[in-house]
Amino acid sequence: MSSESLERIARNKNVARAAARQLSMEQLQKLLEVIEEVIESKKDEDRVRQEEEVQKARKLAEIREQISEAGLSLEDLVAEQPKRKRGRPPKNPK
């Protein structure tokens, strides 16, 4: 089953019912178990991602505070960017 047909089933209740008619009760129960496992793992992934974002934001705030306490600015930390040459390079460099 392609992801396109799964999306179609997920978006339309009547399409899902029609697809379910083709399955036995055992197959439907197994499908339910698999979908529940997928949902739980997706929730866990989202939870971990949110925790990582919170930790990253905390660390960033700490670093900014340390920078300001040291009397520095972000520009002091960034090295000057090399200037790019304008135009295209020659086609046949000889």
For the chain, what are the domain ranges? 25-71
Q: Looking at residue 29, what is its pLDDT?
A: 96
Q: Looking at residue 72, what is its pLDDT?
A: 86
27 half-sphere exposure, CB direction, 13 A CA radius: 6
Mean pLDDT over all residues of the chain?
88
Contact 10, 16 (CB under 8 A): yes
d(CA 74, CA 39): 42
Q: Which helix (H) or strand (E) segment is 87 a member of?
A: none
Mean of pLDDT values over 6-17: 88
Alpha carbon 51 to chain centroid distance? 14
**Segment 23-65, tens digit of pLDDT:** 999 999 999 999 999 999 999 999 999 999 999 999 999 999 9
N- to C-terminal Cα distance for the chain?
57
